[in-house]
Every structure is written in structure tokens, then in C-alpha cells.
Amino acid sequence: MREPGRGGDPKAFGSAIRELMATRGWEQRAAVGGVFGNWQGIVGPELAEHTKPERFEEGELTVVADSTTWATQLRLLSSNLVRRLNEELGQGTVRRVKVVGPSSGPRRAGAWRVR
């Protein structure tokens, strides 16, 4: 006897997973996760050594750079990166790349200040 709502013939694992992801709306999240996992393949080894994708929310990819120099370099390449990411993920998925440089923490107050 068959359970209600379950189809007849077995499906291949890959197609079953794709169908599950589509019905749950997980396709985009999985694709973005693939970008995080293949960051070096997308930006190249040199840039990947100094930058790391941190999060993706509402079309904005936040990338952390390990120095201000690499943050500047990534900002200069951001429009090309958006285009490249949209080739991977589908047009309009990534609208903006936000680059965050290293954080030095709050500055200490000192005796010498310029006012």
C-alpha cells in the first residue's frame, strides 16, 4: 500500500534533491554557498588569499579583506565581481559587493589631538 502524497517510481538522487530544493526555495542559498566554497575559482588565487566572503543578504555580498590595500583592490573590481557572480548565480542575484577592511578596534584617546 502506498503512502498518500508519495509518487510511484523511485527517482535518481540528484533529481530528487533538486526538486526538494526548488520546492523549499533553497536553490539560491545553495548556489551562494557554492560561491563561498569556490571563492578562489571565482576571484583567482591571489585575491582569494587576502579576501573572504562573509555573508549574503538581500542581494548584497559582504567580503572581508585582510588589509586596506586588498580592500581597495576589491572595491575597484567590485563591478566586475558582481557581473561574474551573476553569471554563476543568475542575473540580478547579486546587486552589490560590500567590502570590509580589517578592523583595528576603537581608537584610544591620547594627549595629542588635532581640533
Kindly list the domain boundaries of the chain, sorted by start residue.
Answer: 39-103
Straight-line distance from the first to the last Cα atom of the chain, in angstroms, rounded to the nearest whole number:
83
pLDDT digit string (tens) for the chain, length 115 residues: 445 556 667 777 666 666 665 676 555 565 566 677 788 888 889 999 999 998 888 888 899 999 999 999 999 999 999 998 888 777 888 899 999 988 755 556 666 666 6
Report pLDDT for 66. Answer: 93
Pick the CATH number of 39-103 from 3.40.640.10, 3.40.50.1820, 3.40.50.300, 3.30.300.180: 3.30.300.180
- pTM of this structure: 0.64
Q: What torsion do the CA atoms of 74, 77, 83, 85 make, to the nearest 10 degrees?
A: -20
**What sections of the chain are H helices per DSSP?**
13-24, 27-37, 39-43, 45-50, 68-76, 78-89
Residue 54 φ then ψ, to 5°: -105, -45
Residue 90 φ then ψ, to 5°: 110, 140
